[in-house]
Each structure stands twice: as C-alpha cells, then as structure tokens.
Structure 1
Amino acid sequence: MKLSAPIPTLKRKARLLARTGHIPLHQALDRIAAEEGFGAWSLLAATSAATRPAGKLFARLAPGDLVLLGARPGQGKTLMGLELAVEAMKGGQRSTFFTLEYTESEVLDRFRSIGADRAQFGGLFELDSSDTISAAHIARRMAMAPRGTVVVVDYLQLLDQKRENPALMDQVQALKSLARDKGLIVIMISQIDRTYDPSAKAVPDLDDVRLPNPLDLKLFDKACFLNQGEVRFQTV
C-alpha cells in the first residue's frame, strides 16, 4: 500500500495532532496509521520498512567508508541513519549512535517509528548522547570496536561548535583515519544549506551541504541525500 506521504512527514503530522488534540503521541500515530489504511502505527512502520531503501544502501557500504548522509530538516536523515544501524545489526554487526541532538528516549522513539525493536538487538547497539562528543571522543569509544561496526554521528555541523574542539576539517580527517584503520563504517548525518531549492533540484547534493567552517567534502568516500522520499547515492 502506497503511503500518502513519506514516513517523516506522517510522523510530523502525528506530533502536531498530539499537541493540538492533547493526546499521547502513540495514539496520534495510530490515528495517522488508520488514515493510511493500517490498524496501528507499528503495522504501517513495519510495512514501510520492507520497501525503504536502507537495505540496498547498506549493501553499497564497506568497512573503511566515511559516508555523508544529508537532508533538510524533516526529510528522514536521522531515521535513515538508524535504519542503516539496524541493517548492520541484522547481520550481527555492532552499531553505535553518537548524537548531540537527541535524548535516549527520543532515539528509542525513532526506533519504534521505523518498526524496529531496540531490545531485540541486545548488546549490538550503543547510544552515546554525552555533551563531549568530538572526533577524539568517538575514537576513544571505538578503540576496541570490531571491524564492520557502524558508527552514526548526529550530526556533522555540531562537532566543532565548542571552541575547545579542533577545527571541523581536522575532526573529519581523524574520523576518516579511524574508519580506515579500524575497518569501521562511519556515517555522518549532515545539514543542508537553507539556500537549497527543491524546485530547481529534486534532491540536494554536495554543493548544498551547509558548511559554517571550511571542510573538504572529498574526504568522504560516499554520500547519500534525501528529499521527499527520494534517495540519491553517489561515490565522492
């Protein structure tokens, strides 16, 4: 069954319904699911997961890759990052999600929104939402990570907001070396500049990445961009 809008758009609609209707979010999600012809949000999410592109995208990634995952707000880049982590864990690989943006409860909520159960993966999944996240922090946490571990960083532009952290270019270079030396797959979620015009270009690309500080995007091995349910993958 084709959805009337991408999952992130439906999720935003549910959040608005929860606020305006003064009902719990899970009830709002179920109402939106009913409008789409599903008995519950969990059924909608599970059905949608079977047709979403994370599996095909993950198959194109390899240990040692540094990957850029970019989209404007509300287009599902965080969900895609988690879906890629889930794809890794389905194959027995570990995943760690570093976020300066979300709390643990919000990340768990996003697991549910993609039809995944955090508990089923046991010790394969780790969440780090500390305020000290930087390339050096990630390297310390991943020092003993096995080859093939997926590392999702949410998000690129926040890494150098603290003055005590190295320049963004230096941190991305360090993460590139970490990926190659340890055989990790490092996925960096990225903002897209406000100047991006979807009427002129259906999906953003490297030219649209928001860069408040200098960064050579050729440091990335691969890139994936999202907009309105469309996904574009490229080798950098």
Structure 2
Amino acid sequence: MRLSAPVFRLKRRAKLLSRTEGIPLHAALDRLAAEEGFRSWSHLSTKLAEARPARRILDALTPGDLVLLGARPGHGKTLLGLELLCEALGEGWAGLFFTLDYTEADVHRRLVDLGPVAKTADRLILDTSDAICADHVIGRLAQVDGPALAVIDYLQLLDQDRRHPPLGQQVEALSAYARTSGAVIVAISQIDRRFDLAGDGMPGLGDVRLPNPVDLTLFTRTCFLHDGAVRVERTG
C-alpha cells in the first residue's frame, strides 16, 4: 500500500486545508483520502492498518537479533520503529525507545499518528538523554526483566560524541549484548543520498551512510523501506 506521503504529513495537509478553506477537519481528511484513492479517511486508515508490516516483522525476529532499519528521510522508518515497539509491548515485551533526534513531545506526536496500535505506548520506556551510546542502551536493557526490544534512533548519531567509543565498537558491543541476553535491538539508520541519485528500487547495506567504518555483517537482520514498500531479510 503506497501513499503519496506518510500519514502524518497527510494529516498536516488536512489541517492546513481545513483552515484555508474553512471546512471541517473530517471533510479535509476525506478529501485527501479520496485523492489517494480511498472512499474516506476511515477507509484509508483501515487499509493502512491491514498493510502495516510491524506485526510480521516482530513475528520474524528471534531473541538476540540486531536489526538495521534503514530508509531515506520521509519514508517512515521512525514511525515503523515505534509501531514495532507498540506491537512488542502488546505481546508483553519491555519496549525501549532511545532517541538523540526527537524530543519527548515529538515522540508522543508520532505515537498519535499510529492511532489504535499505540494503545500500549503508555508502557514504553522513552530515553532522550544526550548520553545515549551503546553502553547506555545496554545499561538500561539490563534493568528490565523478560523479553525486551529496544529501538535506537538513530545509528549514525551514536558516533557524534567523541567521548564515546567509535561507532564500529559500539555496534560490536550491541551485537554481543543482544546475542548473550536475548534482547532484540533495532538501530534505525540513515541511507546515503546517492541512493536517490542512483534511482534503485530499494536500498541495501551498500547504501547505509557510514561516517566511520562499521562491520554491517554484525546485523542479523535488515529492514529497508522505500515508497511504501518494505523488505526484511536475514543476513549471512
């Protein structure tokens, strides 16, 4: 299921349309839904819920997985990471979201965009500390009991503080901890802009933007998004 823009952007357009044309918000939403080929906004929402890949991604994960979730800006990688956490919370997992990019208010707005699937988000452990690095993530994970899923937003920002180990060492530490503890760790990743210039259909490991060397074979699974399509693969 492909939309012309992510849902949160369509909602923003609907709010602007509502204000500029003086029509109710629900009418603006229905108009945009019709432009996307749906009978109404509720029809779009229903179909979107059916098409969401988070459930099948979670079902495919195994304890100890280190997952790379990559896409170019605006293709929904952060929203998918949050949705994956909500699905895990619904299964009784502990869910932790580490972000060096968003504020708490930003994250809560994104959760609203998920709609009913975010009903479990009240149990989400949200960490926006400037100290986020591999050791910080591992320390927080060590404090929870039972199965846990952590999402890091995002991989490249772990490399911005020179007081922390190089990114390659941090990925090695995350891989080792996931493997020994059974936790699942998902690192959201930027994709190099050269991917857009190449015009390829779906990014891959060779398109991951790396400011410094990282052994990407440490990731046991990859999940790439582009234009509404999702590809999940086991590496190695």
TM-score interval for Structure 1 and Structure 2 normalised by the shorter chain: 0.7 to 0.9
Amino acid at match of 2:29: I
* Contact 2:89/2:120, CA 8 A, preserved across alignment: no
* Contact 2:75/2:225, CA 8 A, preserved across alignment: yes
Give matches, 1:180-195, under 5 Å: 180-195=179-194
Q: Give the drift of 1:205.
A: 0.4
Q: Which residue is 1:54 aligned to?
A: 54
Amino acid at match of 1:64: G
1:15 maps onto 2:17 in alignment: no
Give matches, 1:22-41, under 5 Å: 31-36=28-33, 37-39=39-41
- Specify every segment of 5 or more residues in structure 1 that has no aligned partner in the other structure, as ranges: none
Structure with greater proportional helix content: 2
Distance 1:221 1:28, change over 3 A: farther
Q: Which residue is 2:234 aligned to?
A: 235
Q: Which residue is 2:66 aligned to?
A: 66
Amino acid at match of 1:85: L
Distance 1:215 1:51, change over 3 A: same
Q: Give the drift of 1:5.
A: 2.9
Distance 1:233 1:119, change over 3 A: closer
Amino acid at match of 2:40: F
Distance 1:122 1:136, change over 3 A: same
1:150 maps onto 2:135 in alignment: no
What is the TM-score with the length of structure 1 in the denominator? 0.86
Amino acid at match of 2:76: G
* Contact 1:46/1:114, CA 8 A, preserved across alignment: no
Distance 1:216 1:83, change over 3 A: same
Distance 1:18 1:120 in 2: 26
Distance 1:137 1:118, change over 3 A: same
* Contact 1:147/1:183, CA 8 A, preserved across alignment: no
Q: Give the drift of 1:66.
A: 0.2
Q: Which residue is 2:110 aligned to?
A: 110
Question: What percent identity do the matched residue pairs reach?
Answer: 42
Distance 1:38 1:20 in 2: 16
1:164 maps onto 2:166 in alignment: no
Distance 1:80 1:143, change over 3 A: same
Distance 1:103 1:116, change over 3 A: farther
* Contact 1:99/1:128, CA 8 A, preserved across alignment: yes
* Contact 2:83/2:117, CA 8 A, preserved across alignment: no
Distance 1:173 1:20 in 2: 48
Distance 2:225 2:195 in 1: 12
Q: Give the drift of 1:45.
A: 3.8
* Contact 1:14/1:29, CA 8 A, preserved across alignment: no
- The 3-state SS of whatever aligns with 1:196 is helix
Distance 2:197 2:91 in 1: 35
* Contact 1:46/1:115, CA 8 A, preserved across alignment: no
Q: Give the drift of 1:30.
A: 7.1
- The 3-state SS of whatever aligns with 1:86 is helix
- The 3-state SS of whatever aligns with 2:159 is coil
* Contact 1:49/1:114, CA 8 A, preserved across alignment: no
Q: Which residue is 2:207 aligned to?
A: 208
* Contact 1:45/1:113, CA 8 A, preserved across alignment: no
- Specify every segment of 5 or more residues in structure 2 that has no aligned partner in the other structure, as ranges: 34-38
Amino acid at match of 1:15: R
